[in-house]
Structure 1
Amino acid sequence: MEISDVISVEDVVLDLRPESKTRLLKALAAHAAWRTGCPAAEISSVLAAREKLGSTGLGQGVAIAHAKVRGLQRPYGAFARLAAPCPFEAIDDRDVDLVVLLLLPEASPQEHLNVLAKIARRLRDVEVPARLRQADDAATAYRLLTAQPPLKSSAAA
């Protein structure tokens, strides 16, 4: 399963302006609810419960908020670039400005879990977040996030 199998260009949100981590997660949950048909309150609840286990902020301004959702039929993902960094309790205490949302069905096979690892690897490449921060539109951000094979330093965004 590839990143492009769970995130579509319609699920790229640029310049989101949340005032807090809670509001950020609620905004992402509302978008996901609209796209998946699952209740926003359920999505918000499972995301909040997952964050209580430990922040999904990876560091370097990046977070991958993820959780399993009852009733979800297939994996769903979204990407948000924030207009300004938001406190997120990341492992490096740095505010986040790039957030991937990944929702998985409750009984996810290993194949679904592998996409989480692919997203994390993609965002650990310092060039990818830097380019995502500069992307002019959702289509460009989508291409950067889902590029196969990974970007080369000489490739144009």
Structure 2
Amino acid sequence: MKPDDVLIDVSVSSKGRLLQQLSDKAARALGVSERDILAALESREALGSTGIGAGIAIPHAPVAGIERPFGLFVRLTKPIEFDAIDDEPVDIVCLILTPPEGQANHLKLLANVARQLRSEHVLKRIRSTREANHIYSAITECDD
């Protein structure tokens, strides 16, 4: 993930609309079909929500045609319903797309992101700043 892959104050009305916007931005960055990305994300969501609780969602999927993992971080202006495990609306979203091969790396990346976003210190920094570069720092620094 690069600092330019952090978007703040994004306004969407629904989970479906959010997934469409994420797919569009990822497709432009990766040079792959928006439709393929959206289909992969929707297929994953059909298995169970990627809303992990505490206002956080980590939509993720393997996508054919990409060569390396891709991440996009979004802080929403207003929380939206996401069918999260705690039934709370979501305002922090981290998209993770990976190549179809190497699912072990996909799971490791997903676990690392989830662990980082579960930190109250990190969440406080993410929710309180007005600067995308501060959010980037919060999510890429290790809390050892």
| Residues 34 and 49 (structure 1), Cα distance of their counterparts in 2 relative to 1, 3 Å cut | same
Distance 2:35 2:106 in 1: 23
Query: SS at the partner of 1:73?
Result: coil
| CA deviation profile, 1:23-62 (whole Å, cap 9, x unmatched) | 0011011111111111111101110110000000000000
Distance 1:41 1:78 in 2: 17
Aligned Cα RMSD in Å?
Answer: 1.1
Match of 2:7 in 1: 13
Match of 1:94 in 2: 88
Match of 2:108 in 1: 114
Gaps of 5+ in 2: none
| CA deviation profile, 1:48-105 (whole Å, cap 9, x unmatched) | 1100000000000001000000111110001000000010000000000000000010
Provide the TM-score with structure 1 as the length reference. Answer: 0.88
Distance 1:79 1:135 in 2: 14
Q: How does 1:34-73 map to 2 (within 5 A)?
A: 34-73=28-67
Distance 1:17 1:111 in 2: 31
Q: Give the partner amino acid of 2:110.
A: L
Query: SS at the partner of 1:18?
Result: coil
The percentage of aligned residue pairs carrying the same residue is 42
Query: SS at the partner of 2:39?
Result: helix
Distance 2:119 2:15 in 1: 24
Q: Which runs of 4+ in 1 moved over 3 A?
A: none
Match of 1:83 in 2: 77
Gaps of 5+ in 1: 1-6, 152-157
Q: Give the partner amino acid of 2:66.
A: L
Match of 2:137 in 1: 143
Query: SS at the partner of 1:72?
Result: coil
Q: Give the partner amino acid of 2:2.
A: S
Q: Give the partner amino acid of 1:100.
A: C
Distance 1:135 1:74 in 2: 29
Distance 2:124 2:90 in 1: 13
Provide the TM-score with structure 2 as the length reference. Answer: 0.96
